[in-house]
A and B are shown apart, each in its own frame.
Chain A
Amino acid sequence: MGFSFSPLGDQAIVVEVGSEIKDTAQKDVRTISALLEASPPPWLIETIPAFTTVAVFYDPAKALYGTVKQELEELLRQTSVELTAAARTIEIPVCYGGEFGPDLEFVAEHNGLTPQQVIDIHTGGEYSVYMIGFAPGFPFIGGMSEKIAAPRRDSPRLRIPERTVGIAGMQTGVYPIETPGGWQLIGRTPLRLFRPEEEIPSLLRAGDKIVFTQITKSEYASWKEDGHAEDH
C-alpha cells in the first residue's frame, strides 16, 4: 500500500493512507497507530489518528524530520500484518425526543417520516467509529441511513448538553461535553462518553461498532441513578 508523508510543523509528521473515507483507509490508520504503540520509537511523543491520516508527533531534539520519515517507512512495511483484535460492539441507549431531542420532529418532517420511524431507522443502523477527535471522546460515526439525514441548523445553539445525540447531514454523533453546535438534536444517552478519571478516557475507540437502542424516560432516569452510566 502506498503512504505519503508530509510535515505538520516542526514537531509532527503526517502519514496519509488515502484520500477517501473508506474502511480500508480506516484499517490502515488503526494498524499504523497499533504498530507505533506496540514498539514506540524513542522520538515518539504521541499520535492523532484521523479518517485517512495519522499525525505522528515527535521530539526534534531526538530525531529530525528525515530520520523520523525513514524510520516510519521501515516500520510501515509491516502493515500487511492483520489486526487480530476483533472489533468491539458498544450499545448506546438513547432516550429519543421530548426535551432531550427537541429536533426529532424536524428530522421526521424533513424526511416525510413520523418521529417513531426516525427512531426505528436510527436504532436499526449498523454504525462504526471512524475516529475520535474534535472534542474529548467525540466519535465520528459512519453508517447512518440517508433516510434520516438532515441539514445543520441555520444558527447554532450556544449550549448543547453533554451526552446529546444529534444528526448533521449524513452523520450522527454524540456530544461528550457541553459545547455550542449546529446539529439537529434527537435524544440523549445516559452513558458518559468522556471519562477523564479512567486510563482510557474515551468510552469509544476508532474501529468500534455501535448499536443505538431506544430507552424510555424512566429507564434513562434510573440508568443515571443506579450508576449504570459509570460502569457500563
Chain B
Amino acid sequence: MLKIIKGGLQTTVQDLGRTGFQKYGVIASGAMDPFAHRTANLLVGNAEQEATLEIALAGPAIEFQEPAFIAICGADLSPTIDGVSVKRWRTLSVNKGSVLKFGAPRTGCRAYIAIAGGISVAPIMNSKSTYLRAGIGGFHGRALDAGDELPIGRIADEAIEALRKASDQEVDWQIPAPRYSAEPIVRLMRGRQFDLFNSTSQQRLFTEAFSVSTDSDRMGYRLEGPQLSLTEPKELISEAVAFGSIQVPADGNPIILLADRQTTGGYPKIGQIASVDLPLATQLKPGDRIRFKEITLEEAQTLFIEQEQQIRQLKVGIRLKMEE
C-alpha cells in the first residue's frame, strides 16, 4: 500500500491509454510521455503497459507502507527518498516506511513512477488510465490527494531477488532517453489540411518559435506565436484527430492535441508531431518554447521502428541482467 501524504499538482494513475473505445467518443487518455512510462515499467520488471503514477511539476509525497522496487523516469523533478537524492531511469529499492518526495523541477514537466507489481486499481474499458473530465479510471477517477491509500500488486519471490540485484548495481542501461529541453526542435509531418493554409503560415510554422501558453493541460497545449491562417475561410467536416495533431482554430493560435484530446475535431490540422518526438512536446511547461522541423511520413515511421527496436533491446538487456 502507498500512502499519499501530499497529492502534488496533479498526480494520476495512467497506462498506455484506453484503446478501442474512441469510436464511441471515449477519450484515450494514458501517459503523456509514453517513452518514460514504458521504460519505468521495464526497469521494475512490469509489462510496459502497466499503470504508473504520472506526476506534474510539483510532485507528491508518498509513504511506502511496504518495501517496494520503483523506477522514476521522465522529467527531473528532484526526487528524494528519506531526504536523499535518488537517480532517475534506474531500479530503486524502497524500504518500508520510507518517504518519496519531489523538489524543484529541473528539466521537463512530467515524471513517471513505476512500482514493481503495478498499481492495483480496477481497469475500466481495459485501461487503468484516469480520465479526469469524466471522472473515470485510475484511482476513483480523480487525481491523488493527501490521505489516499493506493494498493500495489504483489511480486513473485524470484522477481524480488532479480530486482534487488538490479537496484544494488550501478548499471548503465544505455537508455535512449529523449533529449528534454525547454526549447526543443520537434519533428512534424504536414497535417491533413496543411494545403489549406496560406504560404506565409506554412513557412512560419517551420521557421519561427512558438511558446506554450498557461492554457495548457493533458488535453492540449495552446501555443502563442505567429498567427496561422487559411488561404480562405472554410467550414470543415469533423473528423478524427490523433495524439500530437496540431489544429488551428479561427483565432490563428495552434493547439497541440495530447493524451486527453477529444476523439474528433472540426478545426484544420496543419501538422502532426512524429510519434518519437511526442515526449519532447509533452514535457514542456507553460512559458517554454517549441520549434518545428518538417519530416516526411517515411522518415517518421523509420524513426518509430528504430525506437521500438531500442526499447526491445532495452527490455532484453534488463531481463538478462536480472537473471544473471
Contact = CB atoms under 8 A, between A and B. Distances in A.
Contacts of A197: 124
A159 B189 CA distance: 36
- Max chain B Cβ within 10 angstroms of own Cβ: one of A14, A47, A196: A196
Contacts of A108: none
A8 B240 contact: yes
Contacts of A8: 192, 240-242, 245, 269, 272
Interface centre among B25, B133, B240, B305, by most chain A C-beta atoms within 10 angstroms, is B25
Contact of A134 (B242, B264, B275, B297): B264
- Among B263, B264, B308, max chain A CB count under 10 A is at B264
Contacts, number: 134
A137 B133 CA distance: 14
Interface of A: prevailing SS? loop
Contacts of B240: 8, 12, 14, 48, 50, 53, 55, 133
Interface string B231-251: 000000111111111000000
A62 to B, nearest CB: 10
Interface string A93-115: 00000000000000000000000
B22 interface: yes
B272 A201 contact: no
A61 B23 contact: no
A230 interface: no
A110 B254 CA distance: 35
Interface in A35-51: 45-51
B136 interface: yes
Contacts of B305: 60-61
Given A48-B23, A136-B27, A131 B238 contact: yes
A87 interface: no
Contacts of A140: 238
A199 to B, nearest CB: 9
Given A65-B297, A134-B263, A136-B27, A9 B242 contact: yes
Interface string B150-167: 000000000000000000
Contact of B19 (A45, A49, A64, A65): A45
A196 B134 CA distance: 9
A6 B272 CA distance: 13
A134 B133 contact: no
A137 B305 CA distance: 34
B206 interface: no
Nearest to A205: B24
B189 A61 contact: no
Nearest to B262: A134
Interface string B281-311: 0000000000000000110110011001000
B26 A10 contact: no
A6 B300 contact: no
Contacts of B241: 8
Contact of A200 (B24, B189, B297, B298): B24
A177 B264 contact: no
B106 to A, nearest CB: 30
Given A8-B242, A65-B297, A46 B275 contact: no
Contact of B23 (A21, A132, A177, A196): A132
A110 to B, nearest CB: 22
B237 A21 contact: yes
Contacts of B262: 133-135
A123 interface: no
B274 interface: yes
A194 interface: yes
A35 to B, nearest CB: 14
Contacts of A145: none
B125 interface: yes
A177 B135 CA distance: 10
A196 B275 contact: no
Interface string A174-204: 0011010000000000000010110011100
Contacts of B308: 61
Contacts of B20: 45-46
A194 B23 CA distance: 13
B245 A9 contact: yes
Contacts of A31: none
A214 interface: no
A205 B21 CA distance: 12
Given A20-B237, A137-B26, A138-B25, 4 more contacts: A7-B297, A64-B301, A65-B301, A201-B26
Interface of A: 6-12, 14, 19-21, 33, 45-53, 55, 57, 60-61, 64-65, 131-138, 140, 176-177, 179, 194, 196-197, 200-202, 205
17 contacts: A8-B240, A9-B242, A9-B243, A9-B273, A9-B274, A10-B297, A14-B240, A21-B237, A48-B240, A50-B264, A60-B301, A60-B305, A61-B305, A65-B298, A131-B264, A176-B25, A200-B24
Interface of B: 19-27, 124-125, 133-134, 136, 189, 192, 237-245, 262-265, 269, 272-275, 297-298, 300-301, 304-305, 308
Q: Which 3 A-B pairs have the closest CB atoms?
A: A55-B240, A133-B264, A48-B240
